[in-house]
Structure 1
Amino acid sequence: MTSRAILEHELADIGARADAAIDLAEAALVLAALDRPEAGLHPYRQHLAAIADSMRLAAILPGLTASGQTGLKARCRVLADVMTGEYAYRGDRVSYDDLRNADLMRVIERRQGLPVALAILYIHAARSQGWVIEGVNFPGHFVIRLYHDGCAAILDPFEGGAVLEIGDLRQRLKSVIGDKAELQPSHYAAIGNRDILLRLVNNIKVRLIQDGDLARAAEMVARMLLVAPAQAPLWRESGLIQSRLGNLLAARAAFLRFLEISDNENQRHQVARLLQELTQRLQ
């Protein structure tokens, strides 16, 4: 069992690290453990180690060291075989909006989750072998990109690690944005470790707001701020939610921090006005 204070300290330590130094799966486990500190992280860390062991055993198969597309296809196949075949991870189509789908501890227990949660496990598996892999901030549906010998493939963990071709991505984009949408370089942009964690927790936060649970949503924003304390928009969001909850001192502190670090002039003017109103209410 780990206390919430220790877990929050670990997240603050993660928040102070350079993006490349963040252990993505470990950080996601710590975030999840805040809801169940009594459960302990040991069995989940063991599972991550087991995935790495399975990848290491699979990596002796022929073809992985081949050059170009041949080697890349072999790595894609091994990744899908381990994650979908051996460990039976899959996307949750039946209860997509279930909050457990963005909680890595629950995802490991249930072997299903949201695209971003499954992607974290796929990234962990690939990086355990020193493979180069990253998240891709594709609109509406998180995917990953695996590199090998100058070649790259985009994979969908929600679909069992399926390789996505240009036509697949174009069709998905149109289904999200509209028939007139066309692929742009921004749709292929890589997303860093910290932003992957934020996207994971944001899924929970959005659903809590939709359900009217602002108190829990405020907790999610607080977790996001531990991981990304320099993200000015999160301080603004924290202030807005705390203000709606009637936590005026907390809202004031969040707005003041936003004004210290934000360079968005329009939002700075808005927050300054809100801060003035808060100050008057506190008098």
Structure 2
Amino acid sequence: MAETALLFARLDAPGADWRGARAHLSVLAREAAELTQWAGASAHDQGEAMSAMLGCRHDYSGDRDTYDDLRNVNLIRVTERRRGMPIGLGVIWLHCAEVAGWDCYGINFPGHFILGLDGDDGQAILDVFSGGKILNIEDLDAMISRVDETHRPRATSQGELMPRLSGRMSKRDVLVRLQRNIAFRREQGGDTAGALRCVEDMLRIAPGDIGLWQEAVVLNQRLDQMAAAVRCMGRVVALIPPGKDADLARAAMRRLRSSLN
């Protein structure tokens, strides 16, 4: 996964030192492999070992001062600055955990990328933006409240067991979420062409994602690239399941085709 993220980073920043980033990732991999000699099989111990390696030894942490800086989701820049958004840092944590042979994965949590780590003591939830802090129920409630103002943190009793979080993300899911962050910020900054390039990069690894094809339709329309918009809408029509949504997609396709005449 880190190698693919590095390729995306090279597309995003062609002049960046990708060789230096690759060499650094190799150093991290060697150190992660050594962690298995003493970290044990406990998820909490493994999480703390990874935190000590990445947070203390290599100074990785969340960028709270310039959070929306695009460098925070470009893997080359993250390795250079040792700073990033949760998803940018998460790729590095997942890279190291995979080398160590630990069962670590992204969790599809709203508004903030977190990791799950399974061990002999169950599941630990890690916030890589905060240096790998192991989260409890109150932490998760607070994170949801920041995203959903209608959410009320629930009362918890002392000693209450942490619920197991599902929503396990595949490597592809993590990479798409990484790129979505770039596309969103480019679009917000008025770089529609850059956002479209990012969506097209995502479609290289997720060609069956209807939502991405729909985003490509919208971005091509904004750039007045109607023929490309029609081609992308054709993929939406081909992929969408039969039903009301499929009928709406075909109607949109007809409207787009008529705009070419």
Instruction: Provide closer, same or farther for how the CA distance between residues 179 and 273 of structure 1 changes in structure 2, counting only shifts above 3 A.
Output: closer
How many residues end up aligned between the 2 structures?
253
Q: Say whether residues 1:31 and 2:8 are aligned partners.
A: yes
1:267 Cα deviation after fit:
3.7
- Which of 48, 53, 64 in structure 2 is aligned with 1:82? 53
Counterpart CA distance in 1 for 2:84 and 2:117 is: 21
Report the 3-state secondary structure (helix = DSSP H, G, I; strand = E; otherwise coil) of the residue aligned with 2:12: coil
Counterpart CA distance in 2 for 1:203 and 1:264 is: 30
TM-score, with structure 1 as normaliser: 0.83
* Residue equivalent to 1:18: none
Q: Say whether residues 1:132 and 2:110 are aligned partners.
A: no
Report the 3-state secondary structure (helix = DSSP H, G, I; strand = E; otherwise coil) of the residue aligned with 1:145: strand
Q: Is the 8 A contact 1:236 1:271 kept in 2?
A: no
1:282 Cα deviation after fit:
1.6
CA RMSD of aligned residues (A): 2.0
- Structure 1 gap segments, 5+ residues each: 1-23
Matches within 5 A, 1:1-283: 24-39=1-16, 41-61=18-38, 64-65=39-40, 71-149=42-120, 151-178=122-149, 180-181=151-152, 188-263=166-241, 265-283=243-261
Q: Is the 8 A contact 1:139 1:187 kept in 2?
A: no
Question: Greater helix percent: which structure?
Answer: 1
Report the 3-state secondary structure (helix = DSSP H, G, I; strand = E; otherwise coil) of the residue aligned with 1:240: helix
Report the 3-state secondary structure (helix = DSSP H, G, I; strand = E; otherwise coil) of the residue aligned with 2:66: coil
* Post-superposition CA distance 1:170-205 (Å, at most 9, x none): 12212221353468x896411111111111111111
Counterpart CA distance in 2 for 1:101 and 1:207 is: 11
Counterpart CA distance in 2 for 1:264 and 1:235 is: 17
Instruction: Provide closer, same or farther for how the CA distance between residues 37 and 81 of structure 1 changes in structure 2, counting only shifts above 3 A.
Output: same
Counterpart CA distance in 2 for 1:106 and 1:250 is: 32
Report the 3-state secondary structure (helix = DSSP H, G, I; strand = E; otherwise coil) of the residue aligned with 1:146: strand
* Post-superposition CA distance 1:220-275 (Å, at most 9, x none): 11011111001112112111211121111111110001111112744433332232
Report the 3-state secondary structure (helix = DSSP H, G, I; strand = E; otherwise coil) of the residue aligned with 1:154: strand
Instruction: Provide closer, same or farther for how the CA distance between residues 238 and 92 of structure 1 changes in structure 2, counting only shifts above 3 A.
Output: same
- Structure 2 gap segments, 5+ residues each: 155-162
TM-score, with structure 2 as normaliser: 0.90
1:278 Cα deviation after fit:
2.1
Q: Is the 8 A contact 2:35 2:100 kept in 1?
A: no
